[in-house]
Amino acid sequence: MQKLEVFGANKLKGEINISGSKNASLPILAATLLTNKKVYLNNLPKVKDIETMISLLRSLGSKTKFNKKNLIVDNSKQNKNFASYNLVKTMRAGILVLGPLLAKFGRAKVSLPGGCAIGTRPVDLHLKALSKLGVKYKIIQGYIHATAPKGLIGTKITFSKISVGATENLIIAATLAKGTTILKNCAIEPEIKDLTNFLIKLGCNLKWLSNRTIRIKGVKNIHEIKYSVMFDRIEAGTYLVAAAATEGNLRIKKVIPEIIKTEINILKRIGAKIILKKNQIHIYGNKTIRNTNIKTAPYPGFPTDLQAQIMVLLCKANRKSLIKEDIFENRFMHVSELNRMGAKILIKGNKALIEGNIKFTAAELMATDLRASVSLILAALTTRGKSIINRIYHLDRGYENIEKKLKRVGAKIRRIN
Summarize pLDDT for 212-261 with one digit per residue, the tens.
Answer: 999 999 999 898 999 999 999 999 999 999 999 999 999 999 999 999 99
Beta bridge partners of 322: 293, 353
Q: With pLDDT > 70 as the criterion, what percentage of the chain qualifies?
A: 98
114 band by pLDDT with thresholds 50, 70 and 90: low
**Helix/strand/coil for 215:** strand
Residue 186: active-site member: no
Q: Where are the alpha helices (DSSP H) in 113-260?
A: 124-132, 164-174, 190-202, 233-245
- pLDDT at residue 42 in the model: 97
264 band by pLDDT with thresholds 50, 70 and 90: very high
Q: What is the pLDDT of residues 11-29, one digit of tens each?
A: 999 999 999 999 999 999 9
**Identical fold, 3-19+231-416 and 22-228:** yes
Beta bridge partners of 296: 302
Q: What span, in angstroms and rounded, lies between the C-alpha atoms of 29 and 73? A: 9
Looking at 1.20.1640.10, 3.65.10.10, 3.10.50.40, 3.40.30.10, the CATH number of the domain 22-228 comes to 3.65.10.10
- pLDDT at residue 90 in the model: 77
Using the predicted structure, report yes or no on whether residue 115 has a pLDDT greater than 60: no
Query: Omega into 300 within 30° of 0, i.e. cis?
Result: yes
Kindly report the average pLDDT of the chain as a whole number: 94
**Helix/strand/coil for 146:** strand
**Closest among 142, 116, 138 to 127, alpha carbons compared:** 138
88 band by pLDDT with thresholds 50, 70 and 90: confident
**Closest among 217, 245, 240 to 343, alpha carbons compared:** 245
- pLDDT at residue 369 in the model: 84
Q: Is 21 within 8 Å of 411 (Cβ atoms)?
A: no
- pLDDT at residue 371 in the model: 81
Give domain limits for the chain. 3-19+231-416, 22-228
Using the predicted structure, report yes or no on whether residue 100 has a pLDDT greater than 70: yes
Please compute the mean of the pLDDT values over residues 375-395 and round it to a whole number.
Answer: 94
Q: Is 132 within 8 Å of 143 (Cβ atoms)?
A: no
Q: Is 45 within 8 Å of 228 (Cβ atoms)?
A: no
**Closest among 324, 322, 332, 337 to 379, alpha carbons compared:** 337
CATH of domain 3-19+231-416: 3.65.10.10
- pLDDT at residue 116 in the model: 41
- pLDDT at residue 76 in the model: 93
Please compute the mean of the pLDDT values over residues 274-298 and round it to a whole number.
Answer: 97
Q: What span, in angstroms and rounded, lies between the C-alpha atoms of 365 and 8? A: 14
Using the predicted structure, report yes or no on whether residue 118 has a pLDDT greater than 60: no
- pLDDT at residue 91 in the model: 82
Please compute the mean of the pLDDT values over residues 150-177 and round it to a whole number.
Answer: 97
C-alpha dist (Å) from residue 406 to 18, 69, 227, 375, 400: 12, 22, 29, 14, 11
- pLDDT at residue 35 in the model: 96
Q: With pLDDT > 90 as the criterion, what percentage of the chain qualifies?
A: 87
The pTM of the full predicted model, rounded to 2 decimals, is 0.95
C-alpha dist (Å) from residue 153 to 166, 173, 180, 249: 17, 10, 8, 54
For residue 116, the tally of other CB atoms under 10 A from its CB is 22
Q: Catalytic residue among 116, 186, 204, 315, which?
A: 116
